[in-house]
Structures are given as structure tokens and as C-alpha cells.
Amino acid sequence: MATVLDIAKHNPNAATLAVSDAARAAGFIEKKAELNVVAGATPGGASLVGLTRDQLKDSLFAIGVPERELKMRVAQLWHWIYFRGAKEFSEMTNVGKELRAKLAAAYTLARPQVVSEQVSKDGTRKWLIRMASTGPLDKGAEIECVYIPEVDRGTLCVSSQVGCTLTCSFCHTGTQRLVRNLTSAEIVAQLIVARDSIGDWPHATPPEGAFVPNDGSRFVSNIVFMGMGEPLYNIDNVIAAIDVMSDGEGLTLSRRRITVSTSGVVPQMERLGTEANTMLAISLHAVRDELRDELVPINRKYDIKQLLDACRAYPGLSNARRITFEYVMLKGVNDSDADARELVRLLKGIPAKINLIPFNPWPGSKYECSDWERIERFSEIVFRAGYASPVRTPRGRDILAACGQLKSETEKLRARARMMAEQGIGAEGVYALGDGE
Ligand code: SAH
Ligand code: SF4
């Protein structure tokens, strides 16, 4: 993407390594991340949308709101921004005219720009979102966010980074060269954009013909951190974003309906459980270290035993709060009966669900998806051992809304869409869904 490349030209800290198969084969585990972006809003037209309570407090203090009023003012803004979805300060009728004018002079309630919205025949929606510029050399990072509606729930798949520093060999996002962490506000803003777009605010209505849950629940009822990036490499911002998303006076997402997926950043797992208290998903994908070293190279740092020990110790783990193990089905690579039996043996004693993911091919990928009969057989072995083993239903095929295929460069995306259409390759937009309550 031009944006990030522009930064790279001028930023000595920008990653300079391209991820080739050769580099991967040579033991290349991760790329260097871009600089972190400073969080919060300073007066001068910055948006307050996505900020934490503390950041809102600082923003109000910066425009002269007296200390003794701060708590009350934050509560008012919080309600308008996160409960009602206000887009203008003028809507905030219980905030005095004078303060509203001050707020409007210093800040905005702008959302990140929606560059494109694609709607699948099955109702899945994918947005390409451009974040606000972070400086003169940045035209705004682009990320993708996917909404998957079902009858009784609506799941939003959010990104935690632009690109990913890790280099899993079957994942397209891992080939993206330049990476930066999203701020907590940028993570929260993905939910705001989704709610705007599908009319998920009090008094709002969904667009004509939109597919949304019809059981009376919120249209976005679940969140999965399964878009671009490794959430546990951006854990501070992910935890702060989850705090905002799950706040009972605002966006009110249940923490039990938020699932964070990790490739296995073992040292951060306990902190996620303790501080975010969300559901956990593990991208396992292989049952032997030799193979996992290749598929999920972070395994060379934290091997399968260390990973599963950390799972056993995950705070709050119980039969009611199982860990989801994700397992991508790669033809002839990890899909044998012996692999299925070993999987069952490894997970013994861990309250678990196993999610089998049909591999989503991307141009240049060296793997194929296992045949359907093979996936069924694998699933059967896992099921007989007592585990729920749903195969993720392909969603959003026609709009390339697929796991591991998200890659934000607009131009490449268009080129890829064209190429895949020409080659007749469909993308399977499939995401593991936390059970929730
Ligand atoms: N970085 C985190 C979360 C984002 S990836 C992680 O790895 O867990 C979300 C899920 O999509 C992971 O389970 C990942 O392994 C899977 N995935 C990546 N590429 C895929 C592909 N091409 N086909 C199917 N699933 C893929
Ligand atoms: Fe990163 Fe997850 Fe893709 Fe691995 S699978 S490269 S950790 S996004």
C-alpha cells in the first residue's frame, strides 16, 4: 500500500524485509514492526471516537474542562459516543451549549473512512477501512474488517495490526511486508463503523435488505480477533479496546462473546485471561513440533508443550469456557487419521472445542485445501473422542472475506480479486465463532 510504503521510505525503523519462501525456509520467524502510533486525541481536529475513559478525560482537560467536572463530562460523552452512536456534538442535548461549541472547535466524532464495502450474497459484509493519518508522511493505514450475520448472532472479525510480524506459511496476511500496531481507538472504531453501517444503534435501522440477526439481540453480538495481525503482540491496545467494547454503559459487548485468537504468544496468554477475561482461540494447525515450526514459525520460540501448558493454566478455563483450537486443513500436510488421533491425545484434559478450517488458497500459496471426505473423516475422529469439531461454514466466498487472506493493500486487493475471479478461485470467508452465552 502506498501509504505504508511512503512511511517506509522515510522511517528508518520501518521493516525492510520482504517475506519470501526462501526467507521462511531459512528460519525466518518474524518481521520488525513499524513504530507504534501515539494513542489519544490532542486538540486540533482529532476524533474522540474509540478513546478510553482516561483518554477522554485527558482530551476534556486539554480544552479547559475543570477537574471537578471531568468525571461527569466523561460519563456524558461516553453515553453519546458509545451508547447512542452520536456523530455530532450538537446531538448531545444534556451537554451545555458552550462546552459543545468548545468540543466541536477542538475535536470531531469522525469515524475512520470506509474505502469500500462489499456485501456477499449470504449477507457477509467486508469493509476496507482507512485509519486517520498519523503524520505528514502517512496517508492512513488500511485494514479489513468482516461482519458475519447469522440468525441468532452477528460476529465481527476485527484486525489488531496492519499486517502481521509473524510469517505463518499458509497465511496471506503474513506476507505483508510492513506492519504497525493499531491503537486501541482504531480497534474500537472497527466496531463503530460496523454499527453505523448496519444500523446497530438505538433508533437506527439496518439498510434495506440487509441480513442481520432476527432474535432481537444486537446486530453485532460477538467479536473475534481473527482479522489481520497477532493480537498478543499488541496486547496493551487489545486489552484497552476490549475494555471499551465491553463497557456496560456503552458498547456493552459481553466479554464471553469476545474471542481473541493467537498463534501462540505464550508469555502473554495469562495476562489476556486475567486482564481481558475473554474467550481464547489457539491457532494450532499441527500436532508435531517439526511441522508446526514450519506452518506457525512462532512455534520455534514456544513449542507445542509450552503452548498447551499455558492453555491448561488459562485463567477462567472451565467446561463452560472452553478454548477453541483452530486447525487449518492442508491437503497431505496435517490432515491424516494419525494427526487427528494425536490431536485428541494432546488436548486431553483441556476443555476444548476444535475448529476445522478449510484452507483458503491465495495466489502464490503452496498449499491446497484437504478434500471434503478427508475433512469429514478427520472431524469424525475428533468428534468420536468427545470434542465438538465443527467445520467452519464457508461465508462470503464471493467477496474474498476469508481467514488469512486479508491483506490491506487496496491495489493488490483489486488485482487479486481480478486474478482469483479469472482463475475461478473462490474465497471461503470462514471464522470461528466463540460460543458466547
Ligand atoms: N494472528 C492470529 C489471529 C489472526 S489469523 C492467529 O494466527 O491466531 C485468524 C485465523 O485464520 C488463524 O487461525 C489463522 O491460522 C487462520 N488462517 C490464516 N490463513 C489462513 C488460510 N489461508 N486459510 C484458512 N485459515 C487461515
Ligand atoms: Fe499472523 Fe495469524 Fe497470519 Fe500467522 S496466521 S501470519 S500470526 S495473522
Q: For the segment 195-213, what is each residue's pLDDT rounded down to a tens digit?
A: 999 999 998 988 888 888 8
Q: What is the pLDDT of residue 178?
A: 73
- Residue in 159, 283, 295, 299 to alter for ligand 2 test, most ligand atoms within 8 A of Cβ: 283
Of the ligands numbered here, which is closest to the C-alpha atom of 176? 2
Judged by DSSP in three states, 107 sits in strand
Q: Is the dihedral of CA 27, 233, 327, 321 positive or negative?
A: positive
Q: Is 144 a catalytic residue?
A: yes
Ligand 2 neighbour 280 (Cβ under 6 A): no
**Any domain includes 7:** no
Among 212, 77, 236, 240, which Cα is nearest to 147's?
Answer: 212
Distance of alpha carbon 325 from alpha carbon 24, whole angstroms: 24
Ligand 1 atom nearest to 282, measured from its CA: 8
Q: Are 90 and 29 in contact (CB under 8 A)?
A: no
- What CATH number is attached to the domain comprising 381? 3.20.20.70
Flag the least confident range among 78-82, 93-97, 120-124, 388-392: 388-392
Q: What is the pLDDT of residue 389?
A: 73
Q: What's the domain range around 99?
A: 46-108
Distance of alpha carbon 262 from alpha carbon 280, whole angstroms: 8
Residues 102 and 157 in one domain: no
The type of residue at 77 is: L
pLDDT of 24 above 70:
no
What is the C-alpha end-to-end distance of the chain, expressed in Å?
39
Confidence of residue 431 (pLDDT cuts 50, 70, 90): very low
**Any domain includes 217:** yes
- Residue in 261, 311, 366 to alter for ligand 1 test, most ligand atoms within 8 A of Cβ: 261
Residues 210 and 98 in one domain: no
Give the count of domains, the chain: 2
* Catalytic choice (144, 150, 294, 428): 144
CA 407, chain centre distance (Å):
12
Q: For the segment 224-263, what is each residue's pLDDT rounded down to a tens digit?
A: 999 999 999 999 999 999 999 999 999 999 999 999 999 9
Q: Are 131 and 195 in contact (CB under 8 A)?
A: no
**Any domain includes 419:** no
Distance of alpha carbon 141 from alpha carbon 172, whole angstroms: 18
pLDDT of 172 above 50:
yes
Average pLDDT over the chain, rounded to an integer: 84
What distance in angstroms lies between residue 119's CA and the mean position of ligand 2's atoms? 25
**Any domain includes 367:** yes
The type of residue at 217 is: S
Which residue carries 528508518 as its cell? 12
Residues 167 and 65 in one domain: no
Q: For the segment 355-397, what is each residue's pLDDT rounded down to a tens digit?
A: 999 998 888 899 999 999 999 999 999 999 998 777 776 677 6
pLDDT of 334 above 80:
yes
Question: What is the average pLDDT across 161-173?
Answer: 92
Phi, psi of 347 (to 5 degrees): -85, 0
What distance in angstroms lies between residue 167's CA and the mean position of ligand 2's atoms? 6
C-alpha cell, 114? 470506509
Distance of alpha carbon 402 from alpha carbon 426, whole angstroms: 9
**Residue of minimum CA distance from atom 4 in ligand 2:** 168
Ligand 2 neighbour 281 (Cβ under 6 A): no
For residue 142, the cross-strand partners are 130
- Residue in 171, 323, 366 to alter for ligand 1 test, most ligand atoms within 8 A of Cβ: 171
Q: What is the pLDDT of residue 29?
A: 76
Q: Are 399 and 417 in contact (CB under 8 A)?
A: no
Q: Is 249 a catalytic residue?
A: no
Residues 154 and 64 in one domain: no
Strand 258-262 to strand 222-225: parallel, antiparallel, or no bridges (unpaired)? parallel
C-alpha distance from residue 90 to each of 80, 101, 204, 431 (Å): 11, 8, 18, 39
Ligand 1 neighbour 159 (Cβ under 6 A): no
Q: Which of 108, 133, 159 delimits the end of a domain?
A: 108
Q: What is the pLDDT of residue 138?
A: 74
- DSSP letter at 49? T
Is the whole model's pTM more than 0.85, yes or no?
A: yes
- What CATH number is attached to the domain comprising 74? 1.10.150.530
* Catalytic choice (294, 403, 409, 428): 403
**For residue 181, how many C-alpha atoms fall within 13 Å in the half-sphere facing its CB?**
18
Q: Are 110 and 118 in contact (CB under 8 A)?
A: no
Q: What is the pLDDT of residue 410?
A: 38
Residues 103 and 117 in one domain: no
**Any domain includes 429:** no
Residues 275 and 301 in one domain: yes
